[in-house]
Amino acid sequence: MTAVPAASPPTVAIRCAAVTKHYGSGETRIAALRGVDLAVQEGGLTMLVGPSGCGKTTLISILSGILSPSSGELSVFGTDPSRLSDGERAEWRASTVGFVFQQFNLLPALTAAENAAVPLLIRGVPWKQAVEVARGHLAELGLGERCASLPRELSGGQQQRVAIARALVHDPRLLVCDEPTSALDHETGERVIDVLRTAALRSGRVVIVVTHDQRILRYADALLRMDDGCIVGDRSNTSAAPAEGT
């Protein structure tokens, strides 16, 4: 692993400097990111907003080690995932990153507990032990009674909470959430963001939420606005009131 020299204060968990990302080449070359500079602090809920096609998905893909930038400096908890080999990067993702997808991406054949246990299974934890740990996380999220349910037997909000349990079960330092509330009604969406914020407030963890949902912006500790591949606005929302119930 190659660590980027830590020139930033210790509370900065993620740092990007002049990060670009291009797709294609020649006349078909498209710039998805045009020099992103970014610093995200530990222990907060960071929201990333902007119009469709502005580069949000590309940015979180790079931050989570799924894509590599075309150029620029990147440090995520002291590691530049783009400098790791494919295998090392997969290991790094498995240990460092938790994902919450817009469409949940739960495995339809598995129960809620088994779905939530997947990251532990990826890390080689035995099946029964992994499922047991996952049950505990589901119980914390109020789904203790639905551990044996299949995804199709759960509501959208419940499925998203299973997805969150899955994202947290291996205790990752970075949680990347893509439109976690867009498929949910207002009340359920608020409950979900509440859970995410609780996770974010845990020391050392960073939660990045990509969203179009204006209703949840008030929960952000930091708000990043993107447009045309650049960060066009960066606001720390230290005055944001904690979500109800937290």
Partner 1 sequence: MRPLDHLAYRMLIGDRLKYLSLVAGLVFASLLVVQQASIFTGYSDRTGSWIYDSDGHDLWVMDEQVEMSEDSKPLLQTALSRVRGIDGVAWAVPLYKNYLKARLPDGKLITVRVVGIDDASLAGGPLGASRESLATLRRDQAILVNEAQLATILAVREADGSTRPLAVGDAISINEHQATVAGTFKATPDFFWDPVLYTTYSRALTMAPPERRSTTYVLVKAKSGVELAGLAARIRETTGFAALTTEEFAARTRTYVLAQTGILINFGITIVLGFIIGILVAAQTLYSFILENQRALAALKAMGVRNARIARMVVVQVFVVGVLGYGIGAGLAALSGSILDSVGLAFRVTWTTLSLGLLAILTSCLLAGLLGVRRVMRLDPASVFKT
Among 80, 178, 213, 221, binds partner 1 (CB under 8 A): 178
Partners of 190 in beta bridges: none
Q: Among residue numbers 79 through 108, which ones bind partner 1 (CB under 8 A)?
A: 86-87, 90-95, 97, 99, 101-103, 105, 107-108
What 3-state class would DSSP assign to 155?
coil
Alpha carbon distance 50, 43 (integer Å): 23
Alpha carbon distance 173, 98 (integer Å): 8
Partners of 206 in beta bridges: 44, 174
Among 46, 64, 159, 181, binds partner 1 (CB under 8 A): 64
Among 49, 67, 138, 164, binds partner 1 (CB under 8 A): 67
Q: Output 23 or 233, the one with its CB closest to partner 1.
A: 23
Cβ neighbour number for residue 25 with a 10 Å cutoff = 8
Q: How far is the CB of 101 from partner 1 (least distance, A)?
A: 6
Alpha carbon distance 192, 243 (integer Å): 11
* Only segment of 76-84, 123-131, 136-144, 236-244 that touches partner 1 (CB under 8 A): 123-131
Sequence letter at residue 59: L
Q: Among residue numbers 186 through 215, which ones bind partner 1 (CB under 8 A)?
A: 210
Among 17, 31, 39, 110, binds partner 1 (CB under 8 A): 110
230 binds partner 1 (CB under 8 A): no
Alpha carbon distance 155, 128 (integer Å): 25
149 binds partner 1 (CB under 8 A): no
146 binds partner 1 (CB under 8 A): no
List of residues 6+ apart from 135 with CB closer than 8 A: 113, 116, 144, 147
20 binds partner 1 (CB under 8 A): no
Contact 35, 49 (CB under 8 A): no
Q: How far is the CB of 141 from partner 1 (least distance, A)?
A: 19
Contact 162, 106 (CB under 8 A): yes
137 binds partner 1 (CB under 8 A): no
17 binds partner 1 (CB under 8 A): no
Alpha carbon distance 237, 221 (integer Å): 5
Q: Which residues are near partner 1 by CB under 8 A? A: 57-58, 60-61, 64, 66-67, 86-87, 90-95, 97, 99, 101-103, 105, 107-110, 114, 118-127, 130, 178, 210
